[in-house]
A and B are shown apart, each in its own frame.
Chain A
Amino acid sequence: MRRALLAITGLAASTTAMVVLKSGPGASQVAQELPAAGQPVAPAPDGPAPTDGGAGPEASPSGAASPRPRRSATRAPATRPTAGATSGARLPSAPRTSSAPARPTTRTVTGPVVENEYGNVQVRITLSGSRIVDAVALELPEETAQSDQRSQQVDDRYSGTSGLVVQQQGADLDTVSGATATSTSYRQSLQAAIDRAN
């Protein structure tokens, strides 16, 4: 049993949609969690039909409740509680969930590779009409989840500017702040150069 959990944030209306998709040869079920005004994501992958028409269990927002027993109940409960997995954006490519007649056009958009100090991040999304139905991280550094958490801990309690990557800047200085506690570090410092120029 595999469960892929997908978090999409920052859509046009700032809705957050969390979609739990499960794919496997033996069972298929689709759970949906839509805390805000988000639209349901199209359910029902191909294959054995879910017992109740694809609507899935009425998952609570926390996801703490275990799924209702189903046809393939021998394989329940889920290996991982939903709540514990909400920070994991790493996905195996989940089956695209499209169905129904008169389906809107589906297209795939691949984002740019974004670099940070832990590695590269690249995401591909699949849209059905104007709705994101799938998102796959094509590239994700190992440390991402942890560093996200760490950054979040700092940023959550902080009202200043944050998140800039430190750069070199500045010219035409009168002095420089920053420890030059020893004469060696002073000689090797920009401050020494400024003092020599004066």
Chain B
Amino acid sequence: MGTAISLDLADDLPRAELDELADEVFRWLREVDARFSTYRADSEVCRFDRGELLLSEASADLRLVLERCADLWGATDGFFDGYATGGLDPSGYVKGWAAQVASDRLLAAGSTNHCLNAGGDVRVRGLSASGRPWRVGVRHPWDPMATCLVLTGSDLAVATSGGYERGHHVLDPRRGTPARGLRSVTVVGTDLGLADAYATAAVAMGAAGPAWLDRLTDHHHAIVTDDGRLLHSTDLPLA
């Protein structure tokens, strides 16, 4: 898919051990790509979508993802929709979920200080190499070389969805047309799969998105509207 992954391991561990941790992360993410990519005709997702694979034959990961997508469809009034594009496309959950799993595995393997960025979805834990909490910028929706907010924390999942990426329009699943009103939505929580899905759903909701995000418990958010206003939770962990 060409999604860029950045991994920053800040633990004071031997180099060989860090290399092994990093290798394991990239091995997992390549495995996810092979299984869930909608661009690969032989991926498990595509085979399942074509009916060549029964649900009972699917991997535990695929069944888990399908279950979570169904839950999210209900939790978002149908605005998070793994079938929004016509066929099955759970990418809006998978990217965040895969990075979250990678971070959980790093933690279990002894890395308590790391920052993983999977195509703009960020999971940070502990402290950066400078000894302070991680500083996470939020991309400026009109300038890829700038940020519009800086968040900081030592246990954050940060996902940003937006309509600014060419070919990456978020569809309003009820109309089948690109969603309007919100240029970019950032959701901050502790589960990156949820944060990613909520951000995507809010963009799809358009004008109703801010109030919906405001009612989410345990999550913070920042929104840039199409007309350039910035709205954010009062308790957003700003740097």
Q: Which positions in A face B, CB cutoff 8 Å?
A: 117-118, 147, 150-151, 153-154, 157-170, 172-183, 185-186, 188-195, 198
Q: How far is the CB of A175 from chain B (nearest CB, A)?
A: 5
Select B214's contact among A150, A151, A159, A177, beta carbons within 8 Å.
A159
- Interface segment among B43-51, B132-140, B171-179: the answer is B132-140
Q: State which residues 182-239 of B face A: CB under 8 Å.
A: 184, 186, 207, 210-211, 214, 221, 224-225, 227-234, 239
Contact A175-B117, Cβ < 8 Å, known A154-B207, A159-B214, A166-B141: yes
Residues of chain A lying within 8 A (CB to CB) of residue B211: 154, 157-158
B134 touching A147, Cβ below 8 Å: no
Can you name 6 extra interface pairs (CB under 8 A) apart from A158-B231, A181-B165?
Answer: A160-B214, A161-B232, A166-B228, A168-B140, A177-B136, A189-B139
When distances are taken between beta carbons in the complex, the residues of chain B under 8 Å from A117 are 227-228
B209 CB to nearest chain A CB (Å): 9
Q: Which of A147, A163, A177 is close to B139, meaning CB atoms less than 8 Å apart?
A: A177
Contact of B2 among A158, A175, A182, A188 (CB under 8 A): A182
- Is A193 a contact of B145 with CB atoms below 8 Å? yes
Whether A178 touches B184, Cβ cut-off 8 Å, given contacts A160-B210, A165-B229, is yes
Given contacts A175-B122, A181-B3, contact A158 B230 (CB under 8 A): no
User: Please, how many angstroms separate the alpha-carbon atoms of A181 and B224 in the complex?
Assistant: 19
Q: Which among A151, A163, A174, A189 has the greatest number of chain B C-beta atoms within 10 A?
A: A174
- For B212, the closest partner residue in chain A by CB is A157
Q: Is B2 in contact with A166, judged by CB distance below 8 angstroms?
A: no
Q: Give the distance to chain A from B204, nearest Cβ to Cβ, in Å.
A: 14
B residues at A contact (CB < 8 Å): 1-4, 6, 8, 115, 117, 119-122, 124, 128, 134-141, 143-151, 158-162, 164-168, 184, 186, 207, 210-211, 214, 221, 224-225, 227-234, 239
CB-based nearest A residue for B209: A154
Task: Flag if B120 contacts A168 (CB, 8 Å).
Answer: no
- CB within 8 Å for A159 and B128 given contacts A175-B137, A182-B2: no
Q: Cβ of A198: which chain B residues have Cβ within 8 Å of it?
A: 8
Given contacts A153-B207, A158-B214, A159-B214, contact A178 B139 (CB under 8 A): yes
CB distance from B81 to the nearest CB of A (A): 18
Contact B231 A175 (CB under 8 A): no
Sample of 25 A–B contacts (CB below 8 Å): A147-B227, A158-B211, A162-B231, A164-B229, A165-B230, A166-B141, A167-B230, A168-B148, A170-B239, A174-B115, A175-B117, A175-B124, A177-B120, A177-B158, A178-B138, A179-B120, A179-B160, A179-B161, A180-B165, A181-B3, A181-B168, A182-B167, A186-B4, A188-B145, A190-B137
Task: Considering the complex, give the chain A residue whose CB is closest to the CB of B91.
Answer: A181
**Cβ–Cβ contact B234 & A178, under 8 A:** no
Chain B residues positioned under 8 Å from A173 (CB to CB):
135-137, 147, 150
Please, which residues of chain B bring their CB within 8 A of the CB of A118?
A: 227
**C-alpha gap A191/B147 in the complex (Å):** 10
The interface residues of chain B lying within 8 Å CB-to-CB of A188 are 144-145
Tell whether A167 pairs with B148 under 8 Å between CB atoms, given A160-B234, A183-B4.
yes
Name the B residues within 8 Å of A193 (CB-CB).
145
Q: Which of A117, A150, A176, A192 has the most CB of B within 10 A?
A: A176
Do the beta carbons of B144 and A177 come within 8 Å of each other? no
CB-based contact A190/B229 at 8 Å: no
Contact A190 B144, CB 8 Å, known A177-B120, A177-B122:
yes
In whole Å, how far is B152's beta carbon from the nearest beta carbon of chain A? Answer: 9
Query: Most chain-A CB neighbours within 10 Å: which of B143, B224, B225, B227?
Result: B227
A residues within 8 A CB of B225?
A: 154
Whether B228 lies near A176 (C-beta < 8 A) is no
The complex places the Cα of A188 from the Cα of B234 at a distance, in Å, of 31
A152 to chain B, nearest CB (A): 11
Q: Is the CB of B231 within 8 A of A164?
A: yes
Q: Which of A160, A190, A192 contacts B4 (CB 8 A)?
A: A192
| A168 in contact with B147 (CB, 8 Å) | yes
| Given A173-B137, A176-B138; A159-B234 close (CB under 8 Å) | yes
